[in-house]
Structure 1
Amino acid sequence: MLQHSFRNPDLLREALTHASVADSRLASNERMEFLGDAVLELVICEHLYHRFPNYLEGDLTKIKSAVVSGTTCAVVARESGLTALLHTGKGVAGQSMPASLAAAVYESVVAAIYLDGGLDAARQFVMRTLGPHIDAIASGVDSHNYKAVLQQYAQKNLKTAPVYELLDEKGPDHSKCFEVCVVLDGRRFSSAWGPNKKSAEQKAAMLALRELGIISGADAPRDTGHRHGPRS
């Protein structure tokens, strides 16, 4: 199940002991949960940093937050059978266990493995149990991050990166609109307007993905704001 042979079984015993049955809270897995949360974030952040080299900090943060969320950790704890091993008071066990407790036992076990076998051992456990969820979560988080999708496509298939050209800007300083287009591998795509450069770039990337046939109109929001300048 854990695929880790503990040199100090007391660490695992503590990780699987809920405060409701411990002699004291210090003897429960609460401190383990605290440490495991930090180890888990380190492992996932390092993995995402290398797995998605073209993603900006904000993109990576969104994926990380979803991967290490209590919901995901609870699912993994149940999948790996950890919830059945947690020692709790009566009325809290198995599938009836609250998600918060299930997530806590997962983080506690991560900490126990880290303390017993070091970071490499903890990393192996995390990637074996959480790893299969990462790409699915990343796909969901980034489904409308058109710049990231276009960047990946361009680097993988064209060995280059898209360039975002600012074509025009209109309106007073407090309410400007910006027109941006994508230039990729010598090809200029349809332009898009947005209330700020970031929004205009996302819309321009969406249009480029459409014209490349990577996404369809159904994959994008209806109100794209393209082909139209700011309202007068």
Structure 2
Amino acid sequence: MSNEERIARAEEILEYHFRDPDLLLTSLTHASCADSRIRSNERLEFLGDAVLGLIVCDILYREYRNWLEGELTKLKSVVVSRRVCARVADQIGLSELLILGEGLHGEQRLPMSLRAAVYEAVIGALYLDGGFEAARRFVLRTLEEQIERWAVSDNRENYKSALQQFVQRYLLTTPRYEALDEKGPDHSKCFEVCVVVNHERFPSAWGPSKKAAEQEAARRALEILQARHRRQADESEARELHDAR
């Protein structure tokens, strides 16, 4: 496929005509095929990740007016996850437009991180070429179904259970909870609790009951541990891709 054909197909998918088609081409170029990493889609992915997060937060804030901050955070983390972004990139045909180095050609299925990255990179390109509204229209069109799906299926997850499953699976231990403080009169107390995993203490949380405080503390610890796990997986995958080049 020529670059001109690739750009034309991408514009069809995005339902947007670029004033700077080179920007779109860069968003489709993986580091394994670029002259240098600075010419790959990595910088656009960085920008697109932030733009995507803002757009999704804006949508959730306006549409789910009765949801608490922790619930909105959970839904957002699912919607902008690598798994969902990769799935959407596959569904709309973006994944097949990726420009890859020889070491990745012939792969039956590209790594999830690459497929998610191209979705975020084109959002960054849309933002630079057409502004926030152009990016927002694309995100809304391609992610609205995912947002509704996960909002309906969301059961306000038991974060303590989710944290315990994660810690037992990846760290081979069990989290424990420490009561740090309590304030207020007997009829209206607030409690402060933190999570401890392998002697590491995570950010504490307050709640109107010990149970509520433990749930929020578990959510905060889980968010940190999942981000750390994703970062380690990315570094491992980057080393594998580097070796394949």
Question: Shorter-chain-normalised TM-score: which range?
Answer: 0.5 to 0.7
Say if 2:48 is the partner of 1:36: yes
Q: 1:47 aligns with which of 47, 53, 59?
A: 59
Residues paired across the two proteins, number: 155
Shift of the alpha carbon at 1:103?
0.2
2:115 maps to 102
Q: Flag the 1:130–1:95 CA change in 2: closer, same or farther, 3 A.
A: farther
Ranges in structure 2 where 5+ consecutive residues have no aligned partner: 1-12, 159-185, 192-208, 214-245
TM-score, structure 1 normalization: 0.62
> In the aligned structure 1, how far is the partner of 2:68 from the partner of 2:154?
13
> In the aligned structure 2, how far is the partner of 1:92 from the partner of 1:103?
18
Letter in 2 for 1:128: R
1:160 maps to none
2:84 maps to 72
Shift of the alpha carbon at 1:84?
0.7
> In the aligned structure 2, how far is the partner of 1:94 from the partner of 1:47?
36
> In the aligned structure 2, how far is the partner of 1:131 from the partner of 1:7?
26
> In the aligned structure 2, how far is the partner of 1:131 from the partner of 1:33?
20
Letter in 2 for 1:132: E
Q: Deviations along 1:129-188, whole A, 9 cap, x unmatched?
A: 11111011112233558xxxxxxxxxxxxxxxxxxxxxx98xxx9xxxxxxxxxxxxxxx
Say if 2:58 is the partner of 1:57: no
* Backbone CA RMSD of aligned residues: 2.4
> In the aligned structure 2, how far is the partner of 1:197 from the partner of 1:16?
47
Shift of the alpha carbon at 1:94?
7.6
Shift of the alpha carbon at 1:95?
5.7
> Is contact 1:78-1:95 (8 Å) kept?
no
Identical residues among aligned pairs (%):
54
2:32 maps to 20
Letter in 2 for 1:134: I
Q: How does 1:177-216 map to 2 (within 5 A)?
A: 196=210, 198=212
- Structure with the higher helix share, 1 or 2: 2
Q: Flag the 1:102–1:95 CA change in 2: closer, same or farther, 3 A.
A: farther
Ranges in structure 1 where 5+ consecutive residues have no aligned partner: 146-167, 174-194, 200-232
